[in-house]
Structure 1
Amino acid sequence: MEGLKEVVLKLWHPGCWSIEITRNHPGVYLIVTGVFKISDEIRANFKLVAENYDALSSFIKDMYSYGDLAKELTVISRKKLIVYIHGRFTPKSTFYENIFGLDIMPTRIVIHNGHEYWTVLVYEEKLGEALKKLEGVENIDLEVLSIANLGDAKEEFDDIIDQLLSELSMKQKKVLFEAYRSGYFEWPRKVNLKELSEKFGIAKSTCLHHIRSAEQKILKKFLEELWERERYLED
């Protein structure tokens, strides 16, 4: 959309449960999946992702040790290294009201290693005023990590799969699908390169070129998307 910017903010503010606990547990990060103001409190849902089971166990044991920062915390569900948590907080212990009072729309909130990372949409004419108001909030550290236009290319595709389908050639897709179906990517392989190339009547070198080119495109697009969503892991 014309004039609409995507801004990524890194911030710290005092008295926040999610900031304090991720500072003490760097092996996990939290993704906010929903946040609402109900009566005089903020309620939020989090998706917790842990690097390993030790980090997860340590976090869960320590989760309730911040009673002064959270009114109530509830583990909703757990699957391997992912846990869903519901929390109730006083407005003063969160940053949400500072954001909701501005002409910006959050699209993603991640908390990792003692900082919040907000991805927000804001119209260009409102950007300067919004950043000025945020910088004026008492006792916060704010850093603008990036400001980008919402390009037309982003809006042409529904998701990363659509993007990949548009970039892979028909031959690359055919070879890749057959390689997967035949067990070429399994270990040990169920079919070798010679057998795979014979199915298409092409040279081994040509078959390998199609596979490697497709793999490169898929890995590049996947890592670009991963970095875009979780760039805070660079810190």
Structure 2
Amino acid sequence: MSSTSSTTTAARTTDGTRLTLEIWHPDCWGLQATESVDAGLLVHTVHRTVDETVKGHFTVYADTTAQLDEFVAFTEASPLTHSTVEVGKRPASTAPHPGNAARELFVEYAPEHSISDTLVSQGFIHDASVRVEGGVEHWPVFVADDREAIRNRLETVRAEIDAEISISKIASADGAAPDSTDRLDRLTPRQREAFDLACERNYYAWPREISTRELADELGVSKTTLLEHLRKAEAKLLNPDDA
């Protein structure tokens, strides 16, 4: 689960790269809830309490109020949360997000069940609301570093908390997308096959139209092998100096 930083606005004027990261990490109530219930979650603000827990303000959205009820019940029953407080309901006509119904929640949980501190420690600055859907966190982040350093920072995050991280969007600090056409030639045949299939099947779209397991099955490889192909392809697209 995520948290926000008040330094985000100031950092936007710094040269660097904007990324959207798709993240899974263990022991996260939000990932478990959105994987079990057909509902999504928007993360607005998160902060540490005096008791050194994490308390966040979230919007849960779904197609029906029954799905919202199921989501809240799942969150309340989760051993990964300390408390869940419902603070209001949004009428379907004014909900500024997917689904026909939405509800505001305050959830308190332990900081070790969040990936936020690890991302911040590696220089990734929260850049917009985090969306959690289908057991995946979608993190818009800014990082003021070169692309080789970004690759190393992502590997550190993956190793520290056993996270699965892929990159679904890359842009320069001014919002311009990088020219990756020539860099596609740097991919091995298997990396290109995996990356092209992922793009063709809208693996990087929102909402994602195919799961990692389904994509791996279609490619005829294990989920681990697929993620490795995609990770290496993304690394080469990030770093123009890679051979």
TM-score by length of 2: 0.59
3-state SS of 2:150 partner: helix
User: What whole-Å deviation, never above 9, does each CA across 1:108-143 have from its counterpart, x for those lacking one?
Assistant: 311111111111001132523422321222322111
* 2:119 pairs with 1:99: yes
1:143 counterpart residue number: 166
1:117–1:232 CA contact under 8 A, matched in 2: no
* 2:141 pairs with 1:120: yes
2:9 counterpart residue number: none
Distance of 2:31 and 2:142 partners within structure 1: 23
Amino acid at match of 1:17: W
Identity %: 16
Distance of 2:163 and 2:176 partners within structure 1: 35
Distance of 2:28 and 2:176 partners within structure 1: 37
Distance of 2:123 and 2:152 partners within structure 1: 9
User: What whole-Å deviation, never above 9, does each CA across 1:188-230 have from its counterpart, x for those lacking one?
Assistant: xxxxxxxxxxxxxxxxxxxxxxxxxxxxxxxxxxxxxxxxxx9
Following superposition, the deviation at residue 148 of structure 1 comes to 1.1
1:13 counterpart residue number: 25
2:29–2:75 CA contact under 8 A, matched in 1: no
User: Size of the alignment, in residue pairs?
Assistant: 158
Distance of 1:93 and 1:152 partners within structure 2: 31
* 2:97 pairs with 1:77: no
User: What whole-Å deviation, never above 9, does each CA across 1:72-99 have from its counterpart, x for those lacking one?
Assistant: 1111111231111111111111112112
Gaps of 5+ in 2: 1-12, 92-100, 178-203, 210-243
How large is the Cα RMSD of the aligned pairs?
A: 2.3
Gaps of 5+ in 1: 155-229
1:73–1:86 CA contact under 8 A, matched in 2: yes
Distance of 1:153 and 1:109 partners within structure 2: 21
Amino acid at match of 2:171: A
1:64 counterpart residue number: 76
3-state SS of 2:207 partner: helix
Following superposition, the deviation at residue 57 of structure 1 comes to 2.8
**1:128-139 correspondence to structure 2 within 5 Å:** 128-139=151-162
Distance of 2:70 and 2:159 partners within structure 1: 36
1:111 counterpart residue number: 132
Compare CA radii of gyration and give the structure with the larger one.
Answer: 1
1:24 aligned residue (36, 40, 53)? 36
Distance of 1:10 and 1:114 partners within structure 2: 10
Distance of 1:153 and 1:138 partners within structure 2: 31
2:106 aligned residue (86, 90, 93)? 86
Q: Between Structure 1 and Structure 2, which shows a larger proportion of helix residues?
A: 1
3-state SS of 1:234 partner: coil
1:51 counterpart residue number: 63
Distance of 2:80 and 2:110 partners within structure 1: 8
